[in-house]
Amino acid sequence: MSPYALSPGEWQAFWLSLDVAARSVFFSLPVAILVAWVLARRRFLGRTFVDAFVHLPLVLPPVVVGYFLLLLFGTRGPIGGWLKSTFDLQLVFTTAGAALATAVMSFPLVVRAIRLSIENIDPGLEDVARTLGARAFDRFLSVTLPLMAPGILVGAVVAFSASLGEFGAVITFASNIPGETQTVPLALYTALQTPNGDVAAARLAVLSVVLGLAGLLTSEWIARVLRRRYGR
Amino acid sequence: MLEFQATVRRGTLDLGVEFSAPAPGVTALFGRSGAGKSTVVALLAGLLTPERGRIVIGDQTLFDSARGINMPTEERAIACVFQDARLFPHLDVRGNLRYGRQRVRDRPAPINEDEVIEMLGLARLLERRAHQLSGGEKQRVSLGRALLAQPRLLLLDEPLASLDAARREEVLPYLERLRDEIRIPIVYVSHAFDEVLRLAEHVVLLEHGGVLASGPVAQICLEPALHAIAGEGVMGSVLEGDVVGYEIDEGLATVKCGELMLRVAVPAAPRERLRIFVPAGDVVIALNEVKDVSTRNVLPVEIVHLEPLEGSVLLHLDVRGRALLARVTHSAVRELGLAEDVQCYALVKAVAAQGRRIERRTEPRPGLGQSAGAG
């Protein structure tokens, strides 16, 4: 077998990474839009604290985030226990759990991107929409959301790319189970621990670089297309 | 009829404004920047809530602090055109035009999309986006979008202020057309008095958050308060009358303003109604009737009042029951012995008078804005 070809196990890690990243973005995006909008447009007591809290995963060691997730979402944790008893849903050691860990880690990136795009929207446009008869939710859907779209798309792509590479929080919270939670970086880690695993490690490292580059280039391309469309 | 009365404190501005305006018709809110014009706009549109006050259009109360009424902006049906057009960048021109219309489906829609597109000359722009439009085109689209929301009041907040002179001249005829063809009351906010002279019938003079004067244009032009605010450029009198004769070869129109016949070098057609602005600096005063003179109008007048200005004197004259302003030097006043009740002659050059058609003699289009005018 060619040393450049991915083994079936590595392919599995690759597809699993995409799966985890996609789930993570899908579930974190609506929450991120809401949080970004609240932080950009609402003035309330404790806004600075909420802002800092959202950004915590950026500065905390990922293993700490994983630890807190274990405390909260573990089968005996307050949320994890409730999910288990009510929906028979277990997050620890599952793909869903890996997605949750990556979602929390990439959340600040998405919020940042979306928030920037909201702050770029002229509030005067929303006023005009009001004078033309649009109520709050209608205004959000017909004016704010379309104008946020560039930020949302860029945020989603950046979050997706970052999710592919998340390591510490995933291994802490969801462990390193092939086919279940072993994404590309975890597989790379395992290969490094294995005797004669350095060729596999190199393959997985190159794969990571390719995926990361693809993500960054895609987000740049989307941003450019949208800028041209809106003439900004 | 629009009745507006509101007090609000906003930053350093202590605003207490009260005025009423005829509807339909164009009412100008005129004042320097910082006078409180934008605040009145925000209060009218409902984007800002007065501490106390009452805002009524026709029989509809929009705000009444005493009765606890505060209709939200989105129900007021006051469509706005702002200085910066504020077109939606994610929609094309057609999408912008339809935005308001789509949200008032339950209201009668006397203003029809095709008519608005024709009236504002938008047919060739429909597929374009905001960033592909010139400043003047943006304002025309913004006007169309406001009209199609079927408003009970059109609020134009300095719509020409960010345009250069050429673009302004491009948009002004559309505004005049709007005024003549649409029966919706218009509130026109401006700090340029020449726009007010061209478009408005009624003027509310604002300064330091209060109303200095309010009334028909011709009357406001005589106000010392206006002269203090707007400067020498706009000192002059407004005479309105019907064209009774027009000599095409001469380019000279004869306009009948009550008892007064005025000859002006303005293109016009018989039976048209003209508003003539006579700059005070272009009126010459003579004690005797002069015959061999180039000015086409030699009018017997009586001095009603002398308004001293810096470096000159503004004479308020009565000419056959109409008011005329003449600006002369202090030395002229002294040497000619000009004083109240003195009879003299005012010489008005036909080419100095600026005339504008103010009303079409044809009936307004049947489709446009009838129900809104009744409201």
**Distance separating alpha carbons of residues A33 and A39, to the nearest angstrom:** 10
Per-residue confidence (pLDDT) for residue B347, from 0 to 100: 94
Domains defined for chain A, CATH in brackets: 8-230 (1.10.3720.10)
Contact A132 B145 (CB under 8 A): yes
**Distance separating alpha carbons of residues A188 and A197, to the nearest angstrom:** 9
Judging contacts by C-beta atoms under 8 Å, the chain B residues touching residue A140 are: none
Q: Enter the DSSP assignment of B92.
A: B
Residue reference for tokens 């004197």: B313
Per-residue confidence (pLDDT) for residue B375, from 0 to 100: 34
Confirm if B257 and B266 have CB atoms less than 8 A apart. no
A120 has a pLDDT exceeding 80 = yes
Note the pLDDT tens digit of each residue in A180-229. Answer: 889 888 988 988 888 888 888 998 999 989 988 888 888 888 878 877 77
Judging contacts by C-beta atoms under 8 Å, the chain B residues touching residue A149 are: 90
Q: Is B45 on the interface with A (CB under 8 A)?
A: yes
Distance of CA B294 to the CA centre of its chain: 32
Per-residue confidence (pLDDT) for residue B374, from 0 to 100: 37
Judging contacts by C-beta atoms under 8 Å, the chain A residues touching residue B86 are: 122, 124-125, 127-128
Judging contacts by C-beta atoms under 8 Å, the chain A residues touching residue B74 are: 130-135
Residue reference for tokens 């289009």: B365
Contact A133 B89 (CB under 8 A): no
Sign of CA dihedral A114, A118, A120, A121: positive
Confirm if B351 and B299 have CB atoms less than 8 A apart. no
A104 has a pLDDT exceeding 90 = yes
CB pairs under 8 A between A and B: 68
Query: Rounded to two decimals, what is the model's pTM?
Result: 0.82
In chain B, which among 138-167 make CB contacts under 8 A with chain A?
145-146, 149, 155
In chain B, which among 65-124 make CB contacts under 8 A with chain A?
73-80, 82, 84, 86, 88-90, 99-100, 103-104
Where chain B has pLDDT below 70, the residues are 359-375
Contact B86 A128 (CB under 8 A): yes
What fold, for B2-230? Rossmann fold (3.40.50)
pLDDT band at A232 (very low <50, low <70, confident <90, very high): low
For β-strands B297-308 and B343-348, DSSP reports them as antiparallel
User: And the tokens for B374?
Assistant: 């009744």
Per-residue confidence (pLDDT) for residue B365, from 0 to 100: 47
Judging contacts by C-beta atoms under 8 Å, the chain B residues touching residue A133 are: 74-75, 77, 100, 103-104, 149
Q: Enter the DSSP assignment of B130.
A: G
Judging contacts by C-beta atoms under 8 Å, the chain A residues touching residue B105 are: none
User: And the tokens for B225?
Assistant: 């308060």
Per-residue confidence (pLDDT) for residue B371, from 0 to 100: 41
Section A59-63 average pLDDT = 92
Domain extents in chain B: 2-230, 236-357
Q: Is A138 on the interface with B (CB under 8 A)?
A: yes
Per-residue confidence (pLDDT) for residue A1, from 0 to 100: 58
A74 has a pLDDT exceeding 90 = no
Contact B89 A128 (CB under 8 A): no
Note the pLDDT tens digit of each residue in B25-56. Answer: 899 999 988 899 999 999 999 999 999 999 99
Judging contacts by C-beta atoms under 8 Å, the chain B residues touching residue A132 are: 74, 79, 99-100, 103, 145-146, 149
**Domain B236-357 belongs in CATH node 1.10.20.140:** no
B262 forms beta bridges with: B255
Judging contacts by C-beta atoms under 8 Å, the chain A residues touching residue B104 are: 133
A27 has a pLDDT exceeding 70 = yes
**Distance separating alpha carbons of residues A6 and A26, to the nearest angstrom:** 28
Mutation for testing the B interface, residue in A120, A132, A153 having most B CBs under 10 Å? A132
To the nearest 10°, the Cα dihedral for A180, A182, A183, A185? 170
Sheet of B322-328, strands arranged across: B283-286, B343-348, B297-308, B313-319, B322-328
Contact A122 B45 (CB under 8 A): no
Phi-psi region for residue A28, left (φ > 0), alpha (ψ -120 to 50) or beta?
Answer: alpha
**Distance separating alpha carbons of residues A169 and A98, to the nearest angstrom:** 8
Confirm if A230 and B89 have CB atoms less than 8 A apart. yes
**Distance separating alpha carbons of residues A32 and A27, to the nearest angstrom:** 9
Length of chain B: 375
**Distance separating alpha carbons of residues B94 and B92, to the nearest angstrom:** 6
Contact B79 A124 (CB under 8 A): no
